[in-house]
Structure 1
Amino acid sequence: MLKVWNWYQNCLSVHPVKTQVVSSTILWGVGDLTAQFITHSATKKRLQLSDSDAKFMVNWKRLAVTSMFGFGFVGPVGHFWYEGLDKFIRFKLQLMPKSVRFVATKVAMDSMIFGPFHLFVFFSYMGLCAGKNLPKVKEDLKRNYVPALVLEGGVWSVVQVFNFWYLPVKYQLLYVNLFCLLDSAFLSWLEQQKDASWKKCFQVFHSKNEKGGQC
């Protein structure tokens, strides 16, 4: 395990962007596979099906699409975002590293800029890759975006406080990527929930004429 860690550190130092891209691809793929298994298990339990009646079959297309999101967006964009965010707050805002204002500003900017943008790109990308037209993608965004933003917002803020306060910048990428394993599982699961009744509690942007459930 120590050899693997040393090898990863070396790759991160020599090829930071490539390492981030590869690790993001793998972790988002594993996250989606986890989400598929969780959805399958929940469905099997709800319908009271036996193992022989409901075998777990991997959706390879969905797995590939989600992995490519890690490859094309999370890896490269995430790398430059966290590097740029640190430099901006250090040199432009001239805040002292590890101070309360430094960490609070980082968390606030990450939550208000990168978080919402990341979710918008994810749901738009997944919808388009599924062959949906723009009106359908917009409808899915209405259904999924706000629930994801609310549910993820609180969790990621806590995660990032620890990240920005205690870890050096070069390790923040690895830390975020590890949590992206859980994040990709959550987002993949959420995207597959379709019109689940609990989502209607978050659909504050729907028109008044659209019928929905009550919280």
Structure 2
Amino acid sequence: MLKLWRWYQNCLAVHPVKTQVISSGILWGLGDIGAQAVTHSIQTKHPQLTQQKDKEFKINWKRVAITSMFGFAFVGPVGHYWYEYLDHYIRVRLQLQPKSLKFVAAKVAADGLLFGPLDLLIFFSYMGFASGRSVEQVKEDVKRDFLPALIVGGGVWPFVQVANFRFVPVRYQLLYVNFFCLLDSCFLSWIEQQGDAPWKQWFSSIGTLEKQKGQA
């Protein structure tokens, strides 16, 4: 394990962007496999919730490849430059002391309000188009999945990022996040595979009630 870590450090020092891209793609692909396993387990235990009849777990490698490409093409390169720019901006432009309470809070707020929603929007849109859905279908999928993912993820990611921005050097922050992205990609892929699950309708009903209040 120590040799693997040293090898990763060497790769990161020589090819930082390429290393982040490859690790992100691999972890997001593994996350999708985990999501498929969780979904299959639920379908097997609760067949009344789905029309799925196959009891044998078979990995959908096309989905894995599609999800991996999101890690390769977006999370890796964009995440690498995002964490570097965010650190530079808050240290130099806002002149906040690194690792201070205000420094960490500003990073967590920016990450949660800017990068987090953008990441979700692009993920669900990309997964829809890559799966062959039409523009209207993708809009409906994003409308259905975005809010549940944002609310549930919003209760977890701030705590993850507080530790990240407080203790992890900038060059390793995406690696740290990528380990949690193994769970996050599993979670997002699982949400995307749930379709029109009853629990999602609860979030939709919140938006409907708010619209009705605004019109009253």
Per the TM superposition, whether the score is higher than 0.5 is yes
- Tell me which residue corresponds to 1:38: 38
Deviation at 1:119, TM superposition (A): 0.1
Please state whether the residue corresponding to 1:131 is helix, strand or coil. Answer: coil
1:1-215 alignment runs, 5 A limit? 1-47=1-47, 54-203=55-204, 204-206=206-208
Provide the C-alpha distance between the structure 1 equivalents of 2:184 and 2:131, rounded to a whole number of angstroms.
20
Higher helix share: 2
Percent of residue pairs bearing the same amino acid type: 63
Please state whether the residue corresponding to 1:194 is helix, strand or coil. Answer: coil
Provide the C-alpha distance between the structure 2 equivalents of 1:184 and 1:175, rounded to a whole number of angstroms.
14
Provide the C-alpha distance between the structure 1 equivalents of 2:47 and 2:129, rounded to a whole number of angstroms.
30
The runs of 5 or more residues in structure 2 that have no matched partner are 49-53, 212-216
Deviation at 1:47, TM superposition (A): 3.0
TM-score normalized with structure 1 length: 0.92
The number of aligned residues is 205
Residue by residue over 1:5-25, the C-alpha shift from the partner in whole angstroms, topping out at 9 and shown as x without a partner, is 000011111111000000001
Residue by residue over 1:57-101, the C-alpha shift from the partner in whole angstroms, topping out at 9 and shown as x without a partner, is 111111110000000000000111011100000101110001000
Q: Aligned-pair RMSD on alpha carbons? A: 1.6
Provide the C-alpha distance between the structure 2 equivalents of 1:153 and 1:109, rounded to a whole number of angstroms.
13
Deviation at 1:157, TM superposition (A): 0.4
Q: Cα distance 1:208–1:100, how it changes in 2: closer, same or farther (>3 A)?
A: closer
The runs of 5 or more residues in structure 1 that have no matched partner are 210-215
Provide the C-alpha distance between the structure 2 equivalents of 1:92 and 1:132, rounded to a whole number of angstroms.
43
Provide the C-alpha distance between the structure 2 equivalents of 1:169 and 1:59, rounded to a whole number of angstroms.
35
TM-score normalized with structure 2 length: 0.91
